[in-house]
Chains A and B, each alone.
Chain A
Amino acid sequence: MTAQGPIRSIVIVGGGTAGWMAASALTRVSNGALESIRLIESPEIGTVGVGEATIPPMQLFNRFLGLDEDEFVRKTQATFKLGIQFRDWARLGHTYIHPFGRYGADLDGRPFHQCWLRARALGDQTDIGEYALAAVAAMQGKFSRPSADPRALLSGMSYAFHFDASLYARFLSEYARARGVARLERKIVDVELRGEDGFIDALVLDDGERVRADFYIDCSGFRGLLIGQALKVGFEDWSHWLPCDRAAAVPCASVEELTPYTRSTARKAGWQWRIPLQHRIGNGYVYCSEFISDDEAAATLLANLDGEALAEPRFLRFKAGRRRAFWEKNCVALGLAGGFMEPLESTSIHLVQTGLSKLQTLFPDRGFDPLDAAEFNRLSAYEYERIRDFIVLHYCATERDDSPLWNYCRTMAIPDTLRHKIELFRSGGHVAVYDEELFILSNWLAVLTGQFVQPQSYDPLTDVLDTDRLKRHLSQQRAAIRACVDGLASQRDFIARNCRAEPPA
């Protein structure tokens, strides 16, 4: 027997960032086509409460919901993010920035980075970051939204946000509830499956009530209450490529000018993040428990804060990898229930967003054609793997040999897809971009060059370019970017003028 007809009801399990993003997006896309959307969250269990840095497509999500960006910034104590600064990753003492947006302009049809590589071969010493508007602005603490005039250099500005994850969840919860999503603040104690096909039949709450829906979205976090515990979907473990398995997180007082970028500092057994918000700075040490104790990690973290710690460090445990299936029977897993990759490139919230967009495209009916799930799983797995490769690159392309973690990462076997990219870049500075990949040429360039993957040659067609012209082209680009950034306000002023948040109560 197969059921017929449209999905009438959805239950979302979990009220973290993922759950409320799902609730908000679903009210928006279904726009009356669904009879009910309910969300269950347990105040007792709580959310991970971290996850504060994002990437530029986040703007699209907010716009899709119709949110006013300044209001969103005020309500979530957000700041603007122009990129990530990586310290001590390639070698101790070395710093580079992975900026949003692109590098300089092409010359006579030759890609910019090939022009830059040729100039390097001619003795030019300029850093590639000098050709990225976002990088230069970030280092000077400046910020502006892009210009609408496509001819202006400033139109190439690209940005994301740092925000308080719990405030964002609260903000979205207000949004979704105002549009008819019902919230149940209860704990799920059991999941009942249908005998005939193993589909989820009902969720049993702590007071014995049974909640039923046609379709379930599992946003229950690491535990994967539905997808893992009830439906028994296994986990593909990637810890041999990404061995960090714990984090200690602590907020501290803000002491200096707000930096419009995330900082990631490589440490002996992992790395530390620094994410400035309007009311505080978020910090955390992501580490590999095989190489350092929790106490030592916490001590390292506390010794490296900009201001006074505002709480005791919180410890989190995780494993890198993904569910073997994200959509199984009548359940889709989003957020931490679907998989985890460390927040080195701030991709988790983004994966919730793209998961929702795929769900919109492949929205099922009660017949639950297995092809929908298969397609969703194929696309999601592929997306996870491409991002995984990008994160692994940060670890494997290093000169560091000062600790067991770095010795492991420097010499570990890496995925073939990543090896091909590295070899192609080494050979002639070309960047292979796989189909539909989140991170594109400029992102890979930033990290490949930043982590000393050295091309042995460059595109020979740049030899056709006249040397003086090439040099002039490069110096003009640098000058134009400097002039543009000189004219920008500091992020502090920008926020004060447009979107200053109230100090928290």
Chain B
Amino acid sequence: MSDLPSIAIVGGGLAGWTAAAALAGEFKHHAGKVSVVECGQDEPFDLSEEALPATRLFLEKLGIDEDEFVRQTKATFKLGTEFAGWPAPGGTFFQPFSQFGTSIETLGFHQCWFKLRRHGEGSPLGEYSLAAVAASLGRFARPVADTSSVFSSFSYGFHPDRALHREFLRRYASARSVRANTRRLVDVAVRADGGGIDALLLEGGERLSADLYIDCSGGAGLLIEQALQTGYEDWSRFLPCDRAITWSSSKTDALMPHSRKTAHEAGWQWSVPMRHRTGHGLVCSSRFLDTSDMRRMLPENTESEPRSTAFVNGRRRKMWSGNCVALGAAAGFLEPLEAADTYLVQTGISRLLRLLPGRGHGQANADEYNRLAIIESEQIRDFLILHYCSSARRSSPFWDYCRDMELPDSLAAKIEMFKSRGRIAPYGGEAFSLPNWLSVFAGMDVLPRRYHPFADKLGIAELKERAEAIRAAIRQAANSMPDHRTFLARIGAA
């Protein structure tokens, strides 16, 4: 007898259809095991639309052709993010999906770079990143696998239109036996024994039961919170932004292979290039800026009607409780500064597939799932906080607060270690690793007090020469790449 559990997904947003698509890939010969409940009445909210490089792996696992994905979602490629005004008003740095340089004499490039900077030598860090240089030139090509080539030193993500992205996954899942149920969820029957959810009650009286429930109902957390009362850990003391207004414009001429996040006096603002439009958003903290002032920051005439939303950065105390697993905004919220939300849905559903319990078992699986999910979201949280607490912006209450706020111990230790000797300890979790942390530290002009003593094996003149050779090779490689728009046209995504 098949032990395959039946699964009901509540919510037809991006999280819901991402989960459905991943399950559809696995359950292909078992029609009817997976269903999605979506009420379909909420128009999808126009959010910033970014997907990290891990999306490529996710698509590959589903057997989806990446070019087809780019064509259908009107996406552009993403080599990283430009952070304007973050170090200080007028200052800019780029966060690339890329390594910086290559190690010199068994020593990481960053340690050599610290030494160069200490001696007033070397170029800004971004000059040693192929993704950063290519992005600044508006160029794009795919990396190669051969690790001896400079073209293997970077990766990329996408800027897909959110609604088209969701529709793409919906089509994929629906073609593979996932059933969509468009009736509104009106109530949830909870098991008396504390074992979780018994059934979903839909509009019109239908009762839907499953072995496992996936809550993708958004921030309300209809199952995980409203029915099971799991609780929410509020991170707004570390990440005080809690409001967003979004709109879009049809202007797409630049078509840059990166997004831009610009800091302002009480938060930040994004622009994300897609092929048919540019997405914009304004993110603020309502403690430091009231809504009317926020409205005043919008451009004179936005082409689409601006829409507002409220959120609270944080995470659900447990992402898996009883027979219910929350994904997407139902599991927690992290402002889209580094586009990690789509990533968390992708890793969440992959983790669930790895730990899928047989019938009647599962507490240990849930414990393991939560252990990993909590580590992951806290690491991303720390990375986001770094953008705020390390900024030298002054003279607004918001940035004053960010400079002085208390930090999570894990982040405080990480910053201290970096300031001491430029070490960035592996954090586990893959979302953001050494190059990401390094680019934010360096971008914010936070440099260590000392560099690795073994960097003194090479004299400053020789080090300078080696670094310059790397910089020149990267510049040359970037110049040999096609223009981003040309590359898109070549794969039929004009």
Contact = CB atoms under 8 A, between A and B. Distances in A.
Contacts of A435: 375, 426, 428
A430 interface: yes
Nearest to B360: A457
Contact of B361 (A30, A436, A456): A456
A371 to B, nearest CB: 5
Main secondary structure of the interface of B (DSSP, over half): loop
Given A30-B454, A372-B421, A460 B356 contact: yes
Interface string B113-155: 0000000000000000000000000000000000000000000
Nearest to A420: B367
Contacts of A424: 364-365, 367-368
Range, interface on chain A: 35 or more
B93 to A, nearest CB: 26
B41 interface: no
B454 A463 contact: no
Given A371-B416, A428-B357, A420 B456 contact: no
Interface in A434-459: 435-436, 456-459
Contacts of A30: 454, 457
A375 B423 contact: yes
Contacts of A432: 368, 371
Interface string A30-42: 1111000000000
A423 interface: yes
B26 A461 contact: yes
A460 B454 contact: no
Contacts of B4: 460-461, 463-464
Nearest to A423: B364
A190 B368 CA distance: 50
B353 A464 contact: no
B365 A33 contact: no
A424 B364 CA distance: 5
Interface stretch (A146-154, A248-256, A360-368): A360-368
Contacts of B356: 428, 459-461
Given A6-B453, A31-B457, A363-B453, A428 B355 contact: yes
Interface string A453-492: 0001111110110000000000000000000000000000
Interface stretch (B27-35, B83-91, B251-259, B264-272): B27-35
Given A371-B416, A372-B421, A430-B355, A457 B453 contact: no
A369 B420 contact: yes
B423 A427 contact: no
Contacts of B3: 457-458, 460, 463
Given A363-B454, A420-B368, A435-B428, A464 B28 contact: yes
A29 B358 contact: no
Contacts of A29: 106, 454
Contacts, number: 112
A464 B454 contact: no
B193 to A, nearest CB: 19
Contacts of B453: 6-7, 33, 363-365
B450 interface: yes
Contact of A32 (B28, B30, B457): B457
Nearest to A114: B354
Contacts of A362: 421, 423
A102 B175 CA distance: 36
Interface string B1-21: 011110000000000000000
A461 B34 CA distance: 13
Given A29-B454, A460-B5, A371 B428 contact: no
A434 to B, nearest CB: 9
A121 to B, nearest CB: 9
A9 to B, nearest CB: 13
A362 B425 CA distance: 11
A426 interface: yes
A420 B366 CA distance: 11
B61 interface: yes
B425 A375 contact: yes
18 contacts: A6-B453, A6-B456, A7-B453, A30-B457, A360-B454, A362-B421, A369-B421, A420-B368, A423-B363, A427-B362, A430-B364, A435-B375, A436-B428, A456-B361, A457-B357, A457-B360, A459-B356, A460-B357
Interface of B: 2-5, 26-30, 61, 105-106, 353-365, 367-368, 371, 375, 416-417, 420-421, 423, 425-426, 428, 450, 452-454, 456-457
Shortest beta-carbon contacts, A-B, top 3: A457-B358, A435-B428, A427-B364
Given A435-B426, A460-B2, 17 more contacts: A6-B456, A30-B457, A361-B423, A369-B421, A371-B417, A371-B421, A372-B420, A375-B423, A423-B364, A427-B364, A428-B358, A428-B362, A457-B360, A458-B3, A461-B356, A463-B3, A464-B26
Interface of A: 6-7, 29-33, 109, 360-365, 367, 369, 371-372, 375, 379, 420, 423-424, 426-428, 430, 432, 435-436, 456-461, 463-464
